[in-house]
Amino acid sequence: MANLRFSIFHTCVLVFALGGLGQIQAIDLQDKRILILGDSITQNGTYVSFVSYFLQKRNPNFNYDIVSIGLGSETVAGTSEADHPFPRPCVHTRLGEALEQVKPEIVFACYGMNDGIYHPLNGERFLEYQRGIETLIEKVAAVGAQIVLMTPPLFDAAAKQTLSPSGSSYFSYKSPYENYNDVLRTYGKWILITDLPVAAKVDLNTPMLKYNQARRKNGTEFHLARDGIHPGELGHLIMALVILDSLGTSIDGDPVELLAEIKADPLFAKVHERRGLRSKGWLEYVGYERRERVKADSVDEVELKAAELQMAIDDLRRRAQP
């Protein structure tokens, strides 16, 4: 798989905000409070763990404060298909609390997979997505934070057992539109080409698509997302590598080999544990509604445990230094 070693990194489309002198300014996450929003892919959070792991491993003397609170089924547009078991949650119902409680300086947002509700492209739904993104940008800017937009990840139709063709009368997460990734790419293209007041834009879909295609050459069966929607560990790693590349931390190597190395590293286990602990704790403390209302009274105990884990992480980081 040597031919896959470099290809994914050069397909990332990244646009940084222009600084006062007209020079491109990279985003430095060191000593910044970071909030990551998204749907079930972000709630799984493995890509966030990979990002945190590489940042901490590469920069053992720097501090990174990342709070990731993705929520399954969530949209930025408020859309929901009729046969979804409950109305899909919309990030705007919890965004105010998230910004107030987390107090981020930089927000990463990854939406779109659920916003098209697995239907063919529809003008009104597309407008609702655009309005949802624009409102998200406005609310983040209002608290003085920067925002980084990520395009929707890959929808892998070849991995789905049940698909609906374009002429069908029924589409949903149970039976998605067969060309739904084209819908997601339209959503992503709008993000990438539109003049939006954001700090950066990162194209996740294209690198994931290209990697999938490269692995399927010669008829090989391969899927980054076995259910077509939710990436496995390798898919999360591809996402993380693209995000890291956009931050100026390029990781060389074949993703399959990298994944094996990462999982064998005790540092990753600790970083992943801490990320999961904080994600759950902050998600519940901020509060959300998904079937029912969930709201924790405090995140103090979680942060104490997270601080203990960070001490263990820092010890491993120091020991790994030459």
HEC assignment per residue over the chain: CHHHCCHHHHHCCEEECECCCCCECCCCCCCCEEEEEECHHHHHCHHHHHHHHHHHHHCCCCCCEEEECCCCCCECCCCCCCCCCCCCCEHHHCHHHHHHHHCCCEEEEECCCCCCCCCCCCHHHHHHHHHHHHHHHHHHHHCCCEEEEECCCCCCHHHCCCCECCCCCCCECCECECCHHHHHHHHHHHHHHCCCCCCEEECCHHHHHHHHHHHCHHHCCCCCCCCCCCCCHHHHHHHHHHHHHHCCCCCCCCHHHHHHHHHCCHHHHHHHHHHHHHHHHHHHHHCEEECEEECCCCCHHHHHHHHHHHHHHHHHHHHHCC
CA–CA distance, 85 with 90 (Å, rounded to integer)? 15
Q: Which residues contact 239 (CB under 8 A, 6 or more apart)?
A: 47, 50, 153, 204, 208, 231
pTM greater than 0.85 (yes/no) = yes
Domains of the chain, residue spans: 2-320
196 phi/psi in degrees, rounded to 5: -110, 140
What CATH number does domain 2-320 carry, 3.20.20.70, 3.40.50.1110, 3.30.360.10, 3.30.470.20? 3.40.50.1110
Amino acid letter at 287?
G
C-alpha angle 270-232-275 in degrees, rounded to nearest 5: 25
User: Which whole number is the average pLDDT over 6-13?
Assistant: 40
pLDDT bucket at 322, cuts 50 / 70 / 90: low
Q: Which residues contact 240 (CB under 8 A, 6 or more apart)?
A: 47, 48, 50, 51, 54
Return the bridge partners of 35, or none: 67, 107
Whether the per-residue pLDDT at 15 is higher than 80: the answer is no
Residue 283 is predicted with a pLDDT of: 98
Radius of gyration of the chain (CA): 19
pLDDT bucket at 161, cuts 50 / 70 / 90: confident
Residue whose C-alpha is closest to residue 245's, from 207, 272, 216, 302: 207
CA–CA distance, 38 with 269 (Å, rounded to integer)? 23
Whether the per-residue pLDDT at 303 is higher than 80: the answer is yes
CA–CA distance, 154 with 209 (Å, rounded to integer)? 6
Residue whose C-alpha is closest to residue 89's, from 102, 103, 76, 98: 76
Instruction: For 268-278, write each residue's pLDDT tens digit.
Output: 999 999 999 99
Instruction: For 100-152, write each residue's pLDDT tens digit.
Output: 999 999 999 999 999 999 999 999 999 999 999 999 999 999 999 999 999 99
Whether the per-residue pLDDT at 20 is higher than 90: the answer is no
